[in-house]
Amino acid sequence: MARLYESRKRILVTGGAGFLGSHLIDKLMGQGHEVICADNLFTGSKRNIEHLHGNPRFEFLRHDVCNPLKVEVDEIYNLACPASPVHYQYNPVLTTKTSVMGALNMLGLAKRLRCRIFQASTSEVYGDPEVHPQREDYWGHVNPIGTRACYDEGKRCAETLFFDYHRQHGVDIKVARIFNTYGPRMHPRDGRVVSNFITQALAGEDLTIYGDGSQTRSFCYCDDLVDGFLKLMDSPPELTGPVNLGNPGEFTMIELAGEVLRLTGSRSKVKHLPLPADDPKQRQPDITLARKALGWEPKVPLADGLARTIDHFRSFDD
């Protein structure tokens, strides 16, 4: 049910044509808000938002957050940044600039407008963790000069900027640390394990597992994650975050591969390749804070979410 007109907000979503950004915009539009989607389409796709064109409450701006943006809005969700290793390592300098300059530009806008701003941070700030599961008070174990550092350290610096703007200028901030998320609208060649496995299984190719497959990840379905975004954004000002948002269910890569093969009915085999540099051996969120402060936890089981994602990939016409 849409909100009443009196509670309608004008909301900016950077990276809104991306996988998560487009799902967030769908939710916001469903609540009756006006949404400005800003995206340079480096990894985002017009396909993800084409169903919204023609809606008088939706506006698309082709814009790079490395440059200032002058708009009048009530809230900002800053999601702009390549999020998969294939994409963020393609141009690592640009990745760091997007995280850092993007944060500076959006925080400057929020300061001028005196509006609340949300930062999509990442579990990658924990690096290859020495603490398991990861809590928000863990400072991480990150290689600052590795091939993943453009993303890991870029996001860590963005968090620093958000909290300094909050302390120095009183900007109303919300910071979420996103753990592995999957669902429809993932790009089939983004290099993430879920999209890799599904694409390979549907094509009858070997499923590539890096290392021995014992490394673990936790997988959160996109709808659950976006619900966490909205709950955090609507929480009291004193809850700035960071707040872990992810599914605490932990699966090895071998287990994930088996589930994808079962759901697709594929006869593909599993092929092992060397483990990439600085690849985390385990990743699992402690979501105690999200449960207590937001009343949030994921609801979609992995098998159900994978089935929906596989259906999307089957219909994907590249």
Q: Which two tokens stand for residue 77?
A: 């969700």
How far is 57 from 72, CA to CA, in rounded Å? 14
Going by their DSSP bridges, the two strands 173-178 and 243-245 should be labelled as parallel
Which one, of 275, 263, 306, lies nearest residue 208 by Cα? 275
Residue 271 contacts residue 200 (beta carbons within 8 Å): no
Which one, of 22, 82, 305, 44, lies nearest residue 183 by Cα? 305
Q: Is 151 designated active site?
A: yes
**CB proximity list for 285: less than 8 A, separation 6 or greater:** 123, 133, 134, 177, 179, 218, 244, 245, 246, 247, 248
Q: What is the 3-state secondary structure (H, E, C) of 79-126?
A: CCCCCCHHHHCCCHHHHHHHHHHHHHHHHHHHHHHCCEEEEEEEHHHH
Which one, of 265, 251, 147, 117, lies nearest residue 193 by Cα? 251
- H-only helix segments in the chain: 19-30, 85-88, 92-113, 149-169, 193-202, 222-233, 253-264, 288-289, 302-315
**CB proximity list for 72: less than 8 A, separation 6 or greater:** 10, 113
Distances (CA, A) of 72 to 12, 51, 53: 9, 24, 20
Which one, of 66, 89, 76, 80, lies nearest residue 146 by Cα? 89
Catalytic residue (choose from 77, 88, 151, 165): 151
Could you list the active site residues? 151
